[in-house]
Structure 1
Amino acid sequence: MEACFFLLIHCDDTGKTSSPIDPSLLDAASREIQGLTRFVIHLPAESPDSAPLSKTHASSPCCALQWYFDDLGLLETALQTDGAMHGIVDRITHAAKVNLTFAQQVMAVRPFATPNPGDADHCAERCTYLVSYEGEAEDFNAWLTHYITHHPPLMAQLPGIRELEIYTRLDYRSGLSIPRATTMQRNKVVFDDPEALATALASPIRAHMKQDFNAFPPYSGPTPHFPMRSIYGNLKPT
Structure 2
Amino acid sequence: MISYFLTAREQTLPAEADAFAELRTELARIPQLRFAELHRPAGVETYHRDGAAPRAAMRLVFDSIEALESQLMPGARLLELTGSALWRHVAGEQMTQQAMLTRTYLPSGRVPIGADSEETCSYLVHYPGRAEDLNAWLRYYVNHHPQIMLDYPDVMQVQVFTCLDWCDAMPFERVSYMQRNQLTFPSIDALMCALESPVRARMRADNQNFPEFTGGATHFAMRTSFVNGI
- Structure 2 unaligned spans of 5+: none
Q: Displacement of 1:53 after TM fit?
A: 4.5
Match of 1:20 in 2: 15
Q: Which amino acid aligns with 1:64?
A: A
Q: Displacement of 1:124 after TM fit?
A: 3.7
- Superposed CA offset, 1:49-98 (max 9, x none): xx74544624x311111110012111101000221221221125765299
- Confirm whether residue 69 of structure 1 aligns to residue 62 of structure 2: yes
Contact 1:77–1:83, Cα closer than 8 Å, also in 2: yes
Contact 1:93–1:100, Cα closer than 8 Å, also in 2: no
Cα 1:53–1:43 shift into 2, 3 Å: farther
Question: For 2:227, which of 211, 225, 233 is the aligned residue?
Answer: 233
Paired residues in the alignment total 227
- Superposed CA offset, 1:167-197 (max 9, x none): 0111111011211011110000010111000
Q: Indicate the RMSD between aligned Cα atoms, in angstroms.
A: 2.1
Could you tell me the TM-score, scaled by structure 1's length?
0.88
Matched residues in 2 for 1:6 and 1:76: separation?
Answer: 13
- Structure 1 unaligned spans of 5+: none
Could you tell me the TM-score, scaled by structure 2's length?
0.91
Secondary structure, in 3 states, of the residue corresponding to 1:171?
Answer: coil
Identity value in percent: 30
Question: For 1:128, which of 122, 131, 134 is the aligned residue?
Answer: 122
Question: For 1:223, which of 217, 221, 224 is the aligned residue?
Answer: 217
- Confirm whether residue 206 of structure 1 aligns to residue 203 of structure 2: no
Q: Which amino acid aligns with 2:102?
A: V
Match of 2:5 in 1: 6
Contact 1:46–1:194, Cα closer than 8 Å, also in 2: no
Cα 1:181–1:106 shift into 2, 3 Å: same
Question: For 1:191, which of 185, 204, 208 is the aligned residue?
Answer: 185
- Superposed CA offset, 1:181-222 (max 9, x none): 111100000101110001100011111110111110001103
Matched residues in 2 for 1:41 and 1:94: separation?
Answer: 12
